[in-house]
């Protein structure tokens, strides 16, 4: 049984079949959060700068309230929403299938049985290699290749998934029946 030792939170067992177990459970790489963090710092910095400019005016309390409202809206949209999206996006490999789940309000999911996977490959450019992530590409029997971006330790995930696909006991059963 292959296990990813860096599982953050186990995927809910009630969503798995009785004989199924989680092999890998990942969230997208933290690099997805760089732009939201920079956005947060810019919004706070600009807000503080503008608040200091209007500080000596008689209408400063109204301006500060307006700046605070705009700041909260921008931080919610540019920082909190991507953080929640990151946290609620899951890439899971189990002993039976590959699952992808994302979303809070509009939840979407994708399941690919291991027996339908034809090939698994990965890609990562220089930036992805430096930060330790990449794109995992899964080709199944009848669909276009599916790309999963920003997978942490993509080479390791690729290797584990490849082994899981090729060591699937269902495949051995089908081969013996021929």
Tell me: pLDDT of 178 over 90: no
* pLDDT for residue 65: 93
CA–CA distance, 124 with 136 (Å, rounded to integer)? 9
Name which of 35, 33, 134 is nearest 85 in CA terms.
33
Q: Model-level pTM?
A: 0.75
CB contact at 8 A, 139 and 119 = yes
CB contact at 8 A, 90 and 96 = no
Sheet containing 90-94, strands listed edge to edge, beginning at the edge strand earlier in sequence: 22-26, 90-94, 97-102, 108-113
Tell me: pLDDT of 9 over 70: no
Fold category of 95-176 in CATH: PH-domain like (2.30.29)
Per-residue model confidence as pLDDT tens digits over 132-153: 999 999 998 766 888 999 999 9
Rg of the chain, C-alpha, whole Å: 22
What is the three-state SS of 5-16?
Answer: CCCCCCCCHHHC
Domain boundaries of the chain, sorted by first residue: 95-176
């Amino acid at each position: 049984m292959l296990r990813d030792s860096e599982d953050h939170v186990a995927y809910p067992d009630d969503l798995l079949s009785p004989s199924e177990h989680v092999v890998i459970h990942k969230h997208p790489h933290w690099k997805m959060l760089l732009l939201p963090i920079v956005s947060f710092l810019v919004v706070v910095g600009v807000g503080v700068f503008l608040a200091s400019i209007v500080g000596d005016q008689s209408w400063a309390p109204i301006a500060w309230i307006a700046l605070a409202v705009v700041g909260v809206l921008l931080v919610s949209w540019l920082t909190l929403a991507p953080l929640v999206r990151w946290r609620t996006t899951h890439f899971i490999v189990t002993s039976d299938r590959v699952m992808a789940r994302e979303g809070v309000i509009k939840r979407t999911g994708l399941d690919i049985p291991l027996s339908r996977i034809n090939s698994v490959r990965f890609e990562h450019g220089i930036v992805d290699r430096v930060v330790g992530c990449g794109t995992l590409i899964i080709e199944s029997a009848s669909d276009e290749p599916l790309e999963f971006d920003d997978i942490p330790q993509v080479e390791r995930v690729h290797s584990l998934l490849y082994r899981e696909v090729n060591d699937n006991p269902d495949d051995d059963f089908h081969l013996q029946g021929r």
